[in-house]
Amino acid sequence: MRVDVWSDIVCPWCYVGKRRFESALAAFAAGDAVEVVHHSFQLDPFAPRDRTSSRRERLMKKYALTPAQMDAMDARMTQLAAEEGLDYHLEGTVSGNTRDAHQLVHLAQEHGVQDAMIERLYRAYFTEQRSVFDPDSLVGLAQDVGLDRDDARGALREGRYDPAVDEDIDLARRIGITGVPFFVIDGKYGVSGAQQPSVFLEALGRSAERGAEDAGGDLA
């Protein structure tokens, strides 16, 4: 079974959704046989690649929030993350273009450490308040999961995985994905959002049953 996941590095719900899905996978009888593939999605694809801005100010402007409403929203998100064992520190975080971070996820996929890379990026951004936009910071994070520094830097400098990022985003558009996280289970079932583990577990079970039925039909 294969699960394809679309997410963005700076999406707080995506990290929560990753944890909830992992909880479901741990409870799924055939969890060890599930291949998880991460795909790129950009919530703000037109953000400048050479500078960052205040996440707080951008969201307040986008959703017409008051400072008090923004504080309350961050507090709720931090509490939800804590319930999944995640330590969010949202104050002072910045927004920017995540394309280079996504390029590293593709590089990591080629080396069999894709999940470790996206996990490292999430933790850097949401817990450690490290940059996931600056090339030097990104290269350091790539090295943390065992990737070669020079290879990572070269990939970013060359835009080596820009086409792969574009392909992921185009596929999301064709599928009809407009928000993340979004999970496609075995090409049959789509699960939108950071659902509770029980929802993911049910979808995994349905997909497994469907696969068994299809296999039985082929044998017949």
One pLDDT digit (tens) per residue for the chain, 220 residues: 999 999 999 999 999 999 999 999 999 999 999 999 999 999 999 999 999 999 999 999 999 999 999 999 999 999 999 999 999 999 999 999 999 999 999 999 999 999 999 999 999 999 999 999 999 999 999 999 999 999 999 999 999 999 999 999 999 999 999 999 999 999 989 999 999 999 999 999 999 988 766 754 433 2
Domain count, the chain: 1
CA distances from 183 to 1, 6, 138, 177, 208 (A): 13, 7, 26, 10, 15
User: What is the structure's pLDDT at 219?
Assistant: 30
CATH number, domain at 33? 3.40.30.10
Domain that holds residue 117: 2-219
Here the tokens at position 165 are 């990022």
DSSP one-letter code for 10: T
Q: Can you state the angle between helices 99-110 and 162-175, rounded to 10 degrees?
A: 100
User: What is the structure's pLDDT at 188?
Assistant: 87
